[in-house]
């Protein structure tokens, strides 16, 4: 009798262990042989930038596409853009975020404005050129970068990629923030300040046309200060993530194209998201580019989505691009 009792207890214990093992940890990631993460959240926060930039309107479109494809409620969140967005992914305030390629690299490396590496960031895709625009008016008399000396200039919000772009452009011109009265303003506040005369010029990094600058151009004659070819090349030699670019004629009422430089806008995602979810997010965006009404939509393509990405790509996004035959350059 005792033997049968003990045997029964052993068999019951063994069955309980087997059932526990089969139950596993169901966090929604599935068993796909090596997920980066296992998280399928109930809500996806998509960190963008200020309402006057390019990230915010594009983010609204992307949020709708992601919501439709995944069924997960997705919201575009305003922020101070690139650097803050990396912190938002790291502390769980956002799952997807816009960021400049240079800032994403700094975040992963733990350099510049980042005290230590952020290990939770992965690349999803690059999107379009982020043009550095030095904005002023015809009445300011500012025609060159050197003319900014002694002026009141907005260099972007504290911690933003724009601020670092401004610092690096001034550097190759033998200048620094000490040569001017610096303001740390959003794009909207920058253009408002130019219009009311409280500042003379502003650095704005964003896809052209940028909404805040379009609004300014409707009120005054906008001037974009050029970055000369030799200075652009010097900048590229020092910081290879830059490329030459221009603000095309017709934008902001410009009569001719203005040479400048650019970095790339990209989307980053949390490494905690499952491969399947990131695959669905990537697919939602790149198979619905015809839904992007912003002028920068013409640059957003799977064919170029890995160009200059600079950080490790999330396996879920990589799976999608592998299926499309897209390779990094």
Q: Domains of the chain by range and CATH?
A: 44-128+265-323 (3.40.190.10), 130-263 (3.40.190.10)
**134, exposed or middle or buried, with CB in 10 Å at 0-12, 13-18, 19+?**
buried
Contact 108, 165 (CB under 8 A): no
| CA-closest candidate to residue 125, choices 253, 264, 242 | 264
Q: What are phi and psi of 128, to 5 degrees?
A: -165, 165
CA distance 135 to 228: 15
Q: Are 133 and 206 in contact (CB under 8 A)?
A: yes
Residues of the chain with pLDDT under 50: 1-34
CA atoms within 13 A on the CB side of 319: 18
Query: What pLDDT is recorded for position 3?
Result: 43
CA-closest candidate to residue 134, choices 86, 82, 180:
180
Q: Which residues are within 8 A (CB) of 265 and not within 5 positions of it... i.e. 6 or more apart?
A: 54, 55, 98, 99, 100, 101, 126, 127, 128, 129, 130, 207, 296
CA atoms 301, 304, 308, 312: torsion sign: positive
The tokens describing 88, both together, are: 């938002």
- Residue 121 and residue 142 in contact, taking contact as beta carbons nearer than 8 Å: no
Query: What's the start-to-end Cα distance of the chain, in Å?
Result: 73
DSSP structural state of residue 235: H
Nearest to 303 by CA among 184, 112, 127, 94: 127
Q: Which 3 state secondary structure label does DSSP give 302?
A: helix
State how far the Cα of 39 lies from the Cα of 48, in Å rounded to an integer: 21
pLDDT tens track for 70-117: 999 999 999 988 989 999 999 999 999 999 999 999 999 999 989 999
H helix count then E strand count, the chain = 10, 10
Contact criterion met (CB below 8 Å) for 244 and 261: yes
Bridge-based pairing of strands 152-154 and 96-100 is: unpaired
What are the tokens at 107?
């975040």
| 227 within 8 A of 133, measured Cβ to Cβ | no
Cis before 307 (ω within 30): no
pLDDT attached to residue 18? 40
- How far from 265 is each of 85, 99, 114, CA to CA, in Å? 13, 6, 19
Q: What pLDDT score was predicted for residue 194?
A: 98
- Count the neighbouring beta carbons within 10 Å of the beta carbon of residue 261: 25
Tokens 């003990």 locate to 6
- Structural tokens at position 87: 């912190």
């Amino acid at each position: 009798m005792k033997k049968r009792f003990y045997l029964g207890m052993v068999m019951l214990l063994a069955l309980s262990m087997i059932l526990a093992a089969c139950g596993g940890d169901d966090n929604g990631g599935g068993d796909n042989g090596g997920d980066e993460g296992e998280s399928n959240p109930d809500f996806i926060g998509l960190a963008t930038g200020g309402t006057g930039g390019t990230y915010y309107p594009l983010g609204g479109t992307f949020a709708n596409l992601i919501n439709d494809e995944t069924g997960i409620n997705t919201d575009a969140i305003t922020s101070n853009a690139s650097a803050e967005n990396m912190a938002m992914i790291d502390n769980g305030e956002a799952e997807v975020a816009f960021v400049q390629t240079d800032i994403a690299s700094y975040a992963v490396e733990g350099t510049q404005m980042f005290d230590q590496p952020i290990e939770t960031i992965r690349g999803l895709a690059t999107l379009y050129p982020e043009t550095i625009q030095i904005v002023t008016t015809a009445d300011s008399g500012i025609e060159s970068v050197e003319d900014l000396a002694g002026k009141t200039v907005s260099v972007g919000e504290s911690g933003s990629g724009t601020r670092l772009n401004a610092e690096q452009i001034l550097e190759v011109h033998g200048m620094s923030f000490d040569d001017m009265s610096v303001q740390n303003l959003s794009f909207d506040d920058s253009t408002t300040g130019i219009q009311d005369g409280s500042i003379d010029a502003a650095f704005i990094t964003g896809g052209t046309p940028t909404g805040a600058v379009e609004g300014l151009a409707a009120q005054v004659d906008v001037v974009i200060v050029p970055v000369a070819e030799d200075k652009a090349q010097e900048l590229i030699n020092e910081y290879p993530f830059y490329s030459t670019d221009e603000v095309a004629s017709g934008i902001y009422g410009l009569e001719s194209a203005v040479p400048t430089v650019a970095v790339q806008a990209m989307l980053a995602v949390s490494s905690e998201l499952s491969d399947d979810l990131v695959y669905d997010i990537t697919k939602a965006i790149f198979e619905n580019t015809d839904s992007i009404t912003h002028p920068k939509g013409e640059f957003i393509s799977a064919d170029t989505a890995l160009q200059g990405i600079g950080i490790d790509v999330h396996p879920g996004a990589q799976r999608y691009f592998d299926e499309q035959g897209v390779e990094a350059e």
